[in-house]
Amino acid sequence: MLRDHYIFSNGRLKRKDNTLYFFDEADNRKSLAVHQTDNLYVFGEVDFNSSLFNLLNQHDVHLHLFNYYGFYAGTFCPRNKKASGFTVVQQSAHYLDDEKRLHLAKSFLHSAIHHMLRNIRRHKEKTEEYIRNIEHEATKMVSAASIQEVMGIEGRIRQHYYQSFNAILKQDFIFEKRTKQPPQDPLNALISFGNSLCYTAILSEIYKTQLDPTISFLHEPSTKRFSLCLDLAEIFKPLIVDAVIVSSINNRVIAQKHFDFLEGMVLLNDEGKKKFIKEWDAKLSTTVQHRKLKRKVSYRYLIRLECYKLIKHFIGDEPYKPLKAWW
């Protein structure tokens, strides 16, 4: 079974023969089974060479880099062995057709709303007002005639949703407004860090399919970003990221001591990142009985299945129906 590895220390990641080694600053060596690795997440200052990247390419290992502050910096993706010109052409055609694009954009948001309501209905006695506000905004989706309208609805719904965290969370974590670059309070720091992990997990799964990660529908495609990851993240942020945030705080896995309060920003410290990642990995590995496949699949594999459903939609095999958790 493939797994992810996280590197927080400074040092060097190198290849020796067909083995992957990490050497820390004291020259302590740790081997990593490259053939059992899916993703490498690097948070420390780590040196690499071309020989290492050749090995990662051979074994389809994705390398995700984060900067000094823990913000996502970029990804090394192995050569795409599943590229399909036909699929990319059909994916592009759905972007260029306004009606088809709007349909997909609304589909992603319908799934997001379903999962947001699913989260806060578990605390219905405290969140009835937020549920009503979100349901009211959701009714406007039917008449939305442009991507801009859909994005406006999404923004208002997300604001009501995050405000409901003040009624759900048990510790002194308060949501006032969403701040990203940089996050200005512990809750925003958690949201940003969790969302970064979500984007990279989705990117890794997209690259295992024939989809092009730069052609998106809800979010506008642009240079220097994988915007399809942002589209699919609408589905999985409330389902995975937010669920991990709420459980980590309410079960006191994450507390105020796990943050660094710097000038103008608040960030998870290394201990906080490690604790959150442990919960994140456990969530991704959690399995549910799939109603159509008749077998158990992990949350991570649900992301891949969403990619497959999009491909079937693009090539005309089966209309896309976004994931709506039934369990």
- Residues annotated in a binding site for Mn(2+): 154, 219, 234
Q: What is the 3-state secondary structure (H, E, C) of the chain?
A: CCEEEEECCCEEEEEECCEEEEEECCCCEEEECHHHEEEEEECCCEECCHHHHHHHHHCCCEEEEECCCCCEEEEECCCCCCCCHHHHHHHHHHHHCHHHHHHHHHHHHHHHHHHHHHHHHCCHHHHHHHHHHHHHHHHHHCCCCCHHHHHHHHHHHHHHHHHCHHHHCCCCCCCCCCCCCCCCCHHHHHHHHHHHHHHHHHHHHHCCCCCCCCCCCCCCCCCCCCHHHHHHHHHHHHHHHHHHHHHHHHCCCCCHHHEEEECCEEEECHHHHHHHHHHHHHHHHCEEECCCCCCEEEHHHHHHHHHHHHHHHHCCCCCCCCCCCCC
Rg (CA), the chain: 20
Other C-beta atoms within 10 Å of 152: how many? 14
Nearest by Cα to 120 from 248, 251, 243? 243
| Mutual angle of helices 124-138 and 98-121, in 10-degree steps | 170
Q: Are 106 and 141 in contact (CB under 8 A)?
A: yes
Q: Are 204 and 213 in contact (CB under 8 A)?
A: no
